A and B are shown apart, each in its own frame.
Chain A
């Protein structure tokens, strides 16, 4: 039973489209995250929710909007997709401080 699951695994879309990535965790963690991994493997945090409340909102274009309907789900909606949005997006969850994250397997987004 997958702990953190993301869908879809691959997403190919044209510039200007709107798309969503879904994430669900069954670990009972209160905190969830979205990270972006670029082509050089660099990981940067985008957002974090704690029990449905936004607690981290890094410098991300406002075309990106997270939504957390409950503490087990954190979705990412992206409007007006651009070529530079092509990356792998990882969802993660964690218990309280110091315990580390559990990551999903990633969504590879390709904008053409």
Chain B
């Protein structure tokens, strides 16, 4: 079945460092891909998405490019801030499926130190 694999955390960075969180997927079709962020004690918020190959999603300085050839959707940010500390989830859904089920990766905790 469809699945998402994320790099294990925690990822600990200093403020203004470059961030990459790796995400790869397995899917039989052409899924839509998402990054969600969960701040401590809160629900998940959609950070960015891409619905077809070579699309780049971006928001709040974060970017991810849908790479069909490597089945990847890595999250990047050029300069992280303490306020970016959160758990980041990569997810996919198959738009051809009978449901809009989102399948999540295991999440990656990011801790940014001042």
Contact = CB atoms under 8 A, between A and B. Distances in A.
B95 interface: yes
Interface stretch (A60-68, A69-77, A78-86, A95-103): A95-103
Given A90-B43, A101-B46, A43 B99 contact: no
Of listed A94, A96, A97, A102, residue having the most chain B CB within 10 A: A97
B51 A98 contact: yes
A56 B101 contact: yes
Interface of B: 32, 34, 36, 38, 42-46, 49, 51, 87, 89, 93, 95, 97-104, 106-107, 109
Q: 3 closest pairs, A vs B, by CB? A: A97-B95, A103-B43, A43-B104
Given A98-B49, A101-B102, 20 more contacts: A41-B38, A41-B107, A43-B89, A43-B104, A48-B99, A48-B100, A50-B99, A55-B99, A90-B43, A90-B44, A92-B44, A96-B100, A97-B95, A98-B51, A100-B34, A100-B102, A101-B44, A102-B46, A104-B43, A105-B43
